């Protein structure tokens, strides 16, 4: 447990705060709840929806704009339960924090300090004073507590008087201990402005004590990890793309992702971005590699050159950093590269992120997989847990090759599920059956479930296409049928979709959005591009509507930026997912989006 964890509000506590607040205040806005619980409006809405589904509260609409939230009896019982659980957790956390504080105070005494002033008359000062007063071996005298709020001056905490910063010289002391996390930097600056000796400023919290982490690559994986970890650590994001670096330093997300945009713009993150290697590789504790890799099925070759080059640079600089590979690599890669660089500790830790939900999936991870059982591996797992909001996240420490296999098999299974429901839909479409009814009936079996079952034009995006092909290549000398079928099924699905579009005998086909999912700006390897190529191969003219594109053409097809012109020109509008903008021309639209969701 880190020093910061003791003062970090847990998800259980936040849930308790919200229920307690609503039990006392029915007429509140979501913004009020956001302020009280210190969470985003989006998270407030998520909590309230969950409470309503679970029967913890009911909503009473007063008019079109206002409502009241009424806690039910079930909600009251839930609040009592959460209160007990939080107190149990707080007891255990307090014992750990007390031990950490004792270590810190003993360190202060070892440096010769005996008389100190605390800065910040809040909860942290309470805890520190409690430890000092209850532990006879802590031979420290707290001469006073500085606080910037004049209303507190003259009052006491455990018989220790609260004073203003102007009274510094009046009280004999050896050093000032800043007892605040949230206002550490402001307090430090105030002391420096008052010409206080910086060598006598003691830091229980503070930027200087935070772990230094460098992340190489600012795509979905790199940027989401940078944001997650920079909540409580000093993080440098390194990339050769200067425009992305500039956006990050301006607190603007270069990626369309709701949570990323919210955190980068509004959260106080200890995050900086740079294009300079000397800045990025300034002796960080961890270097996380999140650079792009790709698999060429024609050459049976997985291009890991970006990872190779980064590790070589780290080795040349003789850094003692632990290297964490987040990029997808072939099975066995980490073991081989570790043999090449025996002086480096190289750990593979796979990501399981959805496009458009990259940070959300880091804040609420399904699991954390670390391909090592070393002390640094455990420390890195704790960093991921520290930044997340989910409780009781499963953490699995494995061998490096097993971790690599977990990544590929996980994504291949997801591709299998996509392919299965796509082939179900192909069958239903050709036979004239109701796809939705069949899928709903199949999904009622709890062993199958109703998740990840919406038909599409095929799996695509950053991971599934290359991971399935890479895993298939790993089966070169191993008996199998399913792995080949998964890859073939995706190709067959695109053939079928193209044939169904061509059966409408269009003169001009409009491709509406190249992106894979709603709320995403990624169209890398999107399945609709395969449909587009098949249609063009038959001599059909294709136009594209994609706001993300800045070019006037896309693979020699015209990009139409005027939506009204686009829908007027196209005989058939092809869309992997149905958007509400298409409602007025739905008779022209060809999609297999049965459930109107990703």
Closest among 201, 216, 343 to 277, alpha carbons compared: 216
Q: Count of alpha carbons within 13 Å of 228, Cβ hemisphere only?
A: 29
What are the percentages of helix, strand and coil residues in the chain, rounded to 5?
A: 50, 15, 35
Q: What is the spatial distance between Cα 495 and Cα 499, in angstroms, rounded to a whole number? A: 6
- The annotation status of 352 as a binding-site residue, yes or no, is yes
d(CA 166, CA 143): 15
**Residue 460 is labelled as binding a ligand:** yes
Residues 313, 286: Cα–Cα separation, whole Å: 14
- The verdict on whether residue 453 carries a ligand-binding annotation is yes
Annotated active-site residue 463? The verdict is yes
Q: Is 327 annotated as a binding residue?
A: no
Distances (CA, A) of 460 to 180, 248, 355, 529: 47, 27, 11, 10
Catalytic one of 48, 124, 415, 463:
463
552 appears as a binding residue in the annotation: no
466 annotated as a binding-site residue: yes
Distance CA 233, CA 212 (A): 6
Please, are residues 196 and 174 in contact by the beta-carbon 8 Å criterion?
A: no
- CA-based nearest residue to 532, from 456, 457, 465: 457
Q: Is 111 annotated as a binding residue?
A: no
**Maximum C-alpha span of the chain:** 91
334 annotated as ligand-binding: no
Question: In Å, how far from its chain's centre is CA 206?
Answer: 24
244 marked among binding-site residues:
yes
How many C-beta atoms lie closer than 10 Å to residue 443's C-beta?
15
Say whether 219 counts as a known binding-site residue. no
Is 407 annotated as belonging to a binding site?
yes
Alpha helices in 111-216 (DSSP H): 123-134, 184-193
| Helix segments in 64-120, DSSP class H | 73-110
598 annotated ligand binder: yes
User: Is 483 annotated as ligand-binding?
Assistant: no
Q: Write out 495-552 in H/E/C secondary structure.
A: HHHHHHHHCCCCCEEEEECCCCCCCCCCCCCCHHHHHHHHHHHCCCEEEEECCCCCCC
List, in sequence order, every residue forming a beta bridge with 214; answer none if it has no partner.
236, 287
Residue 138 sits at φ, ψ, to 5 deg, of -85, 100
Question: Mapping DSSP to helix (H, G, I), strand (E, B) and coil, where does residue 395 land?
Answer: strand
Q: Does 452 show up as a binding residue in the annotation?
A: yes
- The answer on whether 412 is annotated among ligand-binding residues is no
User: What is the edge-to-edge ordering of all strands in the sheet holding 160-163?
Assistant: 156-157, 160-163, 141-146, 115-119, 175-178, 201-203
- Is 136 annotated as a binding-site member? no
Cα gap 140→136, rounded to integer Å: 10
Instruction: Return the closest-CA partner of residue 224 out of 246, 265, 257.
Output: 257
Task: Pick out the residues of the known binding site.
Answer: 239, 244, 293, 328, 352-355, 407, 452-456, 460, 466, 516-517, 524, 598
Task: Pick out the residues of the known binding site for substrate.
Answer: 352-355, 407, 452-456, 460, 516-517, 598
Task: Pick out the residues of the known binding site for NAD(+).
Answer: 239, 244, 293, 328, 355, 466, 524
Q: Which residues are catalytic?
A: 463
């Amino acid at each position: 447990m880190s020093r910061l964890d003791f003062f970090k509000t847990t998800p259980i506590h936040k849930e308790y705060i919200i229920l307690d607040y609503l039990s006392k205040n029915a007429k509140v806005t979501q913004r009020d709840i956001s302020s009280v619980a210190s969470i985003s409006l989006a998270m407030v809405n998520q909590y309230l929806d969950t409470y309503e589904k679970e029967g913890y509260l009911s909503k009473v609409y007063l008019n079109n704009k206002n409502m009241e939230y009424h806690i039910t009896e079930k909600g009251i019982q839930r609040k009592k339960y959460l209160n007990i659980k939080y107190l149990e957790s707080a007891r255990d956390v307090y014992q750990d924090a007390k031990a950490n504080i004792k270590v810190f105070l003993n360190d202060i005494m070892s440096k010769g300090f005996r008389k100190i002033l605390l800065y910040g008359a809040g909860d942290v000062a309470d805890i520190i004073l409690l430890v000092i007063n209850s532990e006879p071996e802590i031979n420290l005298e707290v001469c006073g507590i500085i606080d910037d709020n004049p209303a507190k001056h003259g009052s006491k905490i455990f018989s220790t008087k609260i004073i203003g910063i102007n009274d510094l010289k009046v009280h004999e002391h050896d050093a000032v201990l800043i007892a605040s996390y949230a206002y550490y930097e402001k307090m430090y600056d105030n002391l420096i402005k008052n010409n206080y000796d910086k060598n006598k400023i003691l830091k229980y919290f503070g930027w200087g004590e935070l772990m230094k982490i460098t992340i190489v690559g600012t795509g979905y994986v790199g940027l989401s990890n940078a944001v997650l970890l920079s909540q409580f650590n000093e993080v440098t994001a390194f990339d050769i793309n200067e425009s992305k670096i500039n956006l990050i330093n301006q607190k603007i997300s270069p990626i369309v992702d709701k949570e990323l945009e919210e955190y980068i713009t509004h959260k106080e993150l200890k995050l900086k971005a740079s294009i300079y290697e000397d800045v990025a590789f300034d002796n960080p504790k961890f270097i996380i590699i999140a650079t792009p890799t790709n698999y060429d099925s024609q050459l049976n070759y997985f291009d890991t050159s970006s990872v190779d080059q980064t590790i070589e640079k780290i080795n040349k600089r003789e850094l003692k950093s632990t290297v964490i590979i987040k990029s997808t690599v072939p099975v066995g890669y980490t073991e081989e590269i570790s043999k090449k660089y025996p002086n480096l500790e190289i750990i593979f830790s796979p990501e399981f992120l959805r496009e458009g939900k990259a940070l959300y999936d880091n804040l609420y991870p399904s699991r954390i997989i670390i391909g090592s059982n070393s002390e640094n591996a455990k420390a890195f797992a704790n960093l991921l847990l520290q930044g997340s909001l989910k409780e009781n996240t499963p953490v699995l420490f494995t061998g490096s090759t097993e971790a690599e296999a977990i990544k590929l098999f996980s994504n291949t299974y997801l591709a299998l599920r996509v392919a299965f429901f796509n082939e179900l839909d192909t069958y239903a479409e050709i036979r004239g059956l109701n796809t939705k009814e069949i899928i709903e009936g199949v999904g009622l079996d709890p062993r199958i479930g109703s998740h990840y079952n919406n038909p599409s034009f095929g799996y695509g995006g950053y991971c599934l296409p290359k991971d399935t092909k890479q895993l298939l290549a790993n089966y070169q000398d191993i008996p199998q049928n399913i792995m080949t079928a998964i890859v073939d099924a995706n190709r067959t699905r695109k053939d079928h979709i193209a044939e169904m579009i061509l059966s409408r005998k269009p003169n001009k086909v409009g491709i509406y959005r190249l992106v894979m999912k709603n709320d995403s700006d990624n169209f890398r390897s999107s399945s609709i591009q395969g449909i587009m190529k098949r249609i063009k191969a038959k001599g059909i003219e294709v136009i594209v509507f994609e706001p993300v594109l800045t070019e006037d053409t896309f693979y020699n097809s015209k990009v139409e930026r005027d939506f009204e012109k686009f829908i007027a020109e196209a005989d058939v509008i092809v869309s992997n997912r149905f958007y509400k903008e298409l409602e007025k021309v739905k008779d022209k639209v060809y999609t297999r989006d049965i459930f109107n969701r990703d």
